């Protein structure tokens, strides 16, 4: 529960540092409440590139803060907990990229999910998020696309863009992968006719039961626009607050898998850590070596150019 004192302290510290707080939908509800902007990865990357404030505080995992720093290198980017990292961001090896480039030459594009380190981005041609991956891959001039690191988002993209040869890598999000088809089937039995809205990081068995696939924002928008009363939501539980806010008064109900999907790295970010980071200026995110930063920034900039929803 946030106290008035804590809210006032955050407002005072933000003004002092000319800071703005960006939060992903997966962080705890009290951190979302303290944020100036809450969104999915794409919306937050766009804001990070354009906000006028001197300091960006990123309540999310490291790749998000790192992308903000790459897009706004002159700004101070702070993380409330610098240890919050997405395990999938590291799940690809340079050899996989080199082998695909050797096989397909100029007719290969390397599409990199934004859930990746700056180094992984620097090996790639374009970045994507879950909200624009299909659109961007479809528009690439090359026929062969190596999709890294996420196998599941890559498979979903392949299913939507059959004209491309999408080559998959073995990365995954442990939280979405563990949403079991049995639990989804159980929810469907309990709520007959409820649309299943899934994040495409889910595994193929759960995705086969979905009626809609999209990023966290797209899931929230689909539920807000839908005509049903009950919705089965296959993503991290953190989206619940925004779903309930957006649909307040509509009588809509949201059902999540019984094994509550929670991202432990997003959960590391607490209101107290946010205050400490604003007060002390801790958790500053640096830039990688210049050649890595320049190449990684190119992939993000290309995404922002191609990725308008
Ligand atoms: P989106 O923000 O694109 O929905 O991605 C979810 C995610 O897993 C972020 O780590
Ligand atoms: Fe990474 Fe999955 Fe957590 Fe998103 S939900 S940050 S993909 S571990």
The CA distance from 24 to 22, in Å, is 7
- CATH number of this structure's domain 88-171+289-307: 3.40.50.10800
What's the confidence (pLDDT) of residue 48?
Answer: 87
Residue 33 near residue 27 (C-beta atoms within 8 A) = no
Task: Write the pLDDT tens digit of every residue in 5-58.
Answer: 999 999 999 999 999 999 999 999 999 999 999 999 888 988 988 999 999 999
Mutate which of 24, 40, 61 for ligand 2 pocket (most atoms within 8 A of beta carbon): 61
Task: Write the pLDDT tens digit of every residue in 110-135.
Answer: 999 999 999 999 999 999 999 999 99
CB 213 less than 6 A from any atom of ligand 2: no
Ligand nearest to the CA of 84: 2
CB 132 less than 6 A from any atom of ligand 1: no
CATH superfamily of 4-86+267-280: NadA-like (3.40.50.10800)
The CA distance from 212 to 269, in Å, is 29
Residue 160 scores a pLDDT above 70:
yes
Domains 4-86+267-280 and 179-260 agree in fold: yes
Residue 307 scores a pLDDT above 80:
no
Bridge partners (DSSP) of residue 167 are: 146
The fold for domain 179-260 equals: Rossmann fold (3.40.50)
Residue 97: partners with Cβ closer than 8 Å, 6 or more residues away? 110, 123, 124, 146, 148
CB 19 less than 6 A from any atom of ligand 2: no
CB 41 less than 6 A from any atom of ligand 1: yes
Ligand nearest to the CA of 45: 1
* Total-model pTM: 0.96
CB 150 less than 6 A from any atom of ligand 1: no
Distance from residue 213's CA to the centre of ligand 1 (Å):
12
Task: Write the pLDDT tens digit of every residue in 218-231.
Answer: 999 999 999 999 99
Sketch the domain layout of the chain as residue ranges: 4-86+267-280, 88-171+289-307, 179-260
Residue 271: partners with Cβ closer than 8 Å, 6 or more residues away? 2, 6, 28, 30, 31, 34
Distance from residue 99's CA to the centre of ligand 1 (Å):
28
The 10 Å Cβ neighbour count of residue 215 is 24
Q: What percent of the chain has pLDDT over 70?
A: 99
Q: Which atom of ligand 1 is nearest to the CA of 115?
A: 10
Distance from residue 86's CA to the centre of ligand 2 (Å):
5
Distance from residue 2's CA to the centre of ligand 2 (Å):
26
Ligand nearest to the CA of 24: 1
Ligand nearest to the CA of 176: 2
Residue whose tokens read 């649309």? 195
Task: Write the pLDDT tens digit of every residue in 168-216.
Answer: 999 999 999 999 999 999 999 999 999 999 999 999 999 999 999 999 9
Q: What percent of the chain has pLDDT over 90?
A: 96
Which among 218, 246, 245 is positioned nearest to 233, based on CA atoms?
A: 218
């Amino acid at each position: 529960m946030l106290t008035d004192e804590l809210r006032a302290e955050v407002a005072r510290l933000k003004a002092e540092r000319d800071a703005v707080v960006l939060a992903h939908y997966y962080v705890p509800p009290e951190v979302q409440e303290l944020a100036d902007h809450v969104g999915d990865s794409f919306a937050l990357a766009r804001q990070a590139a354009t906000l006028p404030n001197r300091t960006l505080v990123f309540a999310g995992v490291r790749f998000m803060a790192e992308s903000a720093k790459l897009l706004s290198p002159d700004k101070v980017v702070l993380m409330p907990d610098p240890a919050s990292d997405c395990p999938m961001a590291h799940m690809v090896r340079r050899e996989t990229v080199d082998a695909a480039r050797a096989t397909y030459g100029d007719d290969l594009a390397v599409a990199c999910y934004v859930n990746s380190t700056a180094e992984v981005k620097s090996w790639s041609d374009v970045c994507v998020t879950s909200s624009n991956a299909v659109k961007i891959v479809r528009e690439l001039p090359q026929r062969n696309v190596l999709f890294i690191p996420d196998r599941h988002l890559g498979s979903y993209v392949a299913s939507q863009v059959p004209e491309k040869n999408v080559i998959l890598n073995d990365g995954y999000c442990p939280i979405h992968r563990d949403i079991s088809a049995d639990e989804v089937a159980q929810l469907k039995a309990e709520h007959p006719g409820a649309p299943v809205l899934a994040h495409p990081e889910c595994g193929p068995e759960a995705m086969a039961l979905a009626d809609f696939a999209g990023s966290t924002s797209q899931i929230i928008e689909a539920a807000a626009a839908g005509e049903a009363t009950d919705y089965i939501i296959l993503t991290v539980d953190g989206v619940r607050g925004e779903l309930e806010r957006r649909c307040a008064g509509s009588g809509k109900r949201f059902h999540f898998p019984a094994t509550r999907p929670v991202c432990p790295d997003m959960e590391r970010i607490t209101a107290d850590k946010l205050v400490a980071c604003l007060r002390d200026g801790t958790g500053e995110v640096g830039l990688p070596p210049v050649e890595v930063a320049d190449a990684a920034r190119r992939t993000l900039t290309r995404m922002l150019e191609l990725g308008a929803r």
